[in-house]
Structure 1
Amino acid sequence: MKIVAQVKLQPGSVYVADSLAATLRACNRAANWISEVAHERDLKRRNELHHAVYYDMKATYDLAAQASVRTIKKVVDAYATLAGNIKNGNLSEKAEGKATSKPIRFRENAAQPFDDHCLTWNVDEQTVSIWTVAGRIKGIPFVCSSEALKLLASRKGESDLVFRDGSFYLTATIDLPEPDAYEPEGWLGVDLGIVNIATTNDGAKLSGRRVNRYRRRINRLRTKLQKKGTKSAKRRLKSIRHREARFATDTNHVVSKTIVITAERTSRGVALEDLKGIRKRVTARKEQRYRLHSWAFAQLGAFVEYKAKRAGVPVVHVDPRNTSRQCSECWHTHRTNRVSQAWFACRSCGNVMNADRNGSRNIAHRADAVWQRGEVKRPRTVKQHA
């Protein structure tokens, strides 16, 4: 399995920072020119495109040989991703036509991949040596978490130079052996919602009130700044957007970690709803639409999956239809069973409970049925959970 480790560079001088910024600009300007050639001549394969652009690109943009190779590969990968999205039906007909009618464009500060010829890590001293358009710069210090530092010890392959919010980062992909999964002794159903981000069939409500208070405060501040419309207000809006995204990411990490640890401790698997298209499936009142559309549900699901893989916890996705309307006791399904956002009352058996917990119980039941029917690919090697 692949894990991404991120470190923050500390250039230490204006010269180093300017050199890194100039390198990103040069590589992305070259990538835009390569993309135009690839689009005009329909050259989407790496070898064909390399022969068509390599020497002209080196002469025009003053890139080193290996940096040129990485830039060509970046363009090829971008077109391969676009082709994959089209093949999988991820784009509407209008979006597909717009995407294929013109070359792919790269921002001037878009991430740039570097391999071991261009970038050398010194994990013990926490420094890197990196190629730039101003020459190779050695001994650039970086800071990261202790967990990321451990992961970097087994790093191989490419790393990406990223410029974000005025700082430079390096992201490295680490390929870790996937641990053996265990045979689950039940399922931890997780219901994703608007008021509570996640509710389990144990009755645990994860990140409800705190998250909603924060989002209401940010929304009020955003509305106030949008009405002002000044340059300083726009800068503040940009800062708020990034801060809210960081808050959502941190919350999703905490929630997903709690879910996986709970499942592992109780020898259960994790049962999730199929998150694809959740915003189209869920109908919400006007005051709830902002909360629905502002949360990264797909990111939360991805975090749960990769943390579960690292722990050897099985994960099953189930059909979310009618999980909020079906009784988890007698299976009676009707829209009037959901009497309010918070409460569920079955019209058939009289079962009354929290609506989110009822939904999470239904998710757990469906996961068990899917697992027993063998509709999920089981691990080849199954370990006995302690």
Structure 2
Amino acid sequence: MNMKLQRTLKLVLKPTEEQKQTLLETIEQYKFAYNYTCKVGWSTKTWNGIELHKLTYYTVREKTSLPSQLVISARVVATESLKSAIKRKKKGLKSKCPQSNNPAIRYDRRSYTVWLEREEASLATVKGRQKFKVKVPDYFKQYLDWRVTSANLKYDKRLKKFFLNITCEKEFPDVEPVNYFVGVDLGLRNLAVVSTPDGKINKFFDGGHIRAVSERYFALRKRLQSKGTPSAKRHLKTLSQKEKRFRTAINHRIAKEIVSLVPAGGVIVLEKLKGIRKRIKVNKQNRRWIHSWNFAQLQQFIEYKAQAKGIRVVYVDARYTSQKCSRCGHISRSNRIDQSHFVCKHCSYSLNADLNASRNIVKNYLASLQRGEVGTGSGISLPVGRCQPSQCSGATC
């Protein structure tokens, strides 16, 4: 049986000045279609796609120049947004009628065509189908024989650029499983610690330098906010994007190194993130840093890089992994001497606290296998390599 890999590539569209105006008008009318459908659905309490189609399709066709495929696309996206909002409302969470100022246009196979080898794309617009030049980086040439399955168009107002995000997929032969497991613990002093049950691999990804850089960003952001001038506000936006790219690049690098430690067919065991910020006890200064770091993104990067190599990624409950002795299994809060040191009160076994936790994570998974419980990956699909120009520096992919 083959495994199917999926990747999303972020491409820069190169429209002429006339085409740019056409795309902007298409996005504007798509926004109207989306917002109008959401308003109708919200006011009439209609969440069913077929019923929403009956209520909105002909009105949108009359008031816009959108082709039928894009009218239907806007309705489908609006239906999804409405269902998501209602789901939040039923859970008692704050929810209101979905609206968007700059929606991404979702294309289906009837409304777009992409030729990566020719660096061209054909998209449905308010002026009919039009061909556009697309910038395809050399790194993306490896996907020329992959099948493109979907696309969406997004306009970045800050960069004043159009991005075409295409999803492509390809089937590969399954990799033979091997008896190789590593556990990954996420934390404060060390962003990630990787180890095997036998201790042959003990890899630390120190967070000290990263935390120092984050503190410099915070101090600069605080000074700019206190000024409040238009120039300072523009600088704040630039700074925010720069910091975001820095963190994404770090997560890419760490994920790449972790995956490189595991052979094809092996298993990477990650901790379920729910409650991670409650589990990690920190002072006020470090609390700000731990709440700002995107651990979920790091796990996503690990997962899709591992998938490409034929490595499985699984998740386990990480409760008590910091209090449990990885040698004898004794659990006690007093086993954790401080942020860095672990000494078992039962067997006197001592080692780095994060390393102990990472070994417990992988041992928890092995124990779940014996009980017949398996925690699989999330099945995400994210870009590979220099895939998100707005988020990734590209140097570490």
State the TM-score, normalizing by the size of structure 2.
Answer: 0.84
Partner of 1:54: 57
Aligned counterparts, 1:293-304, within 5 A: 293-304=291-302
**Could you say if the C-alpha distance between residues 378 and 345 of structure 1 is closer, same or farther in structure 2, counting changes exceeding 3 Å?**
closer
CA displacement 1:196-225 (0-9 Å, x = unmatched): 211111221125234223212211211111
Partner of 1:7: 11
CA displacement 1:276-306 (0-9 Å, x = unmatched): 2322333321111121111111122222223
SS of 1:328's partner is coil
Aligned counterparts, 1:106-145, within 5 A: 106-107=100-101, 109-144=102-137
**Letter of the structure 1 residue corresponding to residue 165 of structure 2:** T
From 35, 45, 50, give the equivalent of 2:38.
35
Partner of 1:160: 152
Aligned counterparts, 1:135-284, within 5 A: 135-144=128-137, 146=139, 148-151=140-143, 153-164=145-156, 165-166=158-159, 167-177=161-171, 180=174, 182-201=176-195, 202-206=201-205, 208-264=207-263, 268-284=266-282
**Letter of the structure 1 residue corresponding to residue 70 of structure 2:** A
**Could you say if the C-alpha distance between residues 2 and 62 of structure 1 is closer, same or farther in structure 2, counting changes exceeding 3 Å?**
same
SS of 2:244's partner is helix
SS of 1:264's partner is coil
Q: Supply the RMSD in Å over aligned alpha carbons.
A: 2.5
Name the one with the larger helix percent. 1
> 1:186, 1:273 → 2: CA distance?
17
**Could you say if the C-alpha distance between residues 270 and 284 of structure 1 is closer, same or farther in structure 2, counting changes exceeding 3 Å?**
same
**Could you say if the C-alpha distance between residues 230 and 134 of structure 1 is closer, same or farther in structure 2, counting changes exceeding 3 Å?**
farther
2:97 is the counterpart of 1:103 = yes
User: Contact 1:119–1:129 (CA<8 Å) still a contact in 2?
Assistant: yes
How far is 1:16 from its partner?
2.9
User: Contact 2:314–2:375 (CA<8 Å) still a contact in 1?
Assistant: no
State the TM-score, normalizing by the size of structure 1.
Answer: 0.86
Aligned residues: 366
**Could you say if the C-alpha distance between residues 26 and 305 of structure 1 is closer, same or farther in structure 2, counting changes exceeding 3 Å?**
same
How far is 1:324 from its partner?
1.3
How far is 1:342 from its partner?
2.0
How far is 1:231 from its partner?
1.6
Give structure 2 stretches of 5+ with no counterpart: 196-200, 378-397
User: Contact 1:126–1:143 (CA<8 Å) still a contact in 2?
Assistant: yes
Give structure 1 stretches of 5+ with no counterpart: 380-386
> 1:33, 1:128 → 2: CA distance?
29
> 2:176, 2:282 → 1: CA distance?
38
CA displacement 1:337-363 (0-9 Å, x = unmatched): 222222222233332222211111111
**Could you say if the C-alpha distance between residues 28 and 277 of structure 1 is closer, same or farther in structure 2, counting changes exceeding 3 Å?**
farther
SS of 2:54's partner is helix
User: Contact 2:326–2:356 (CA<8 Å) still a contact in 1?
Assistant: yes
> 2:145, 2:224 → 1: CA distance?
45
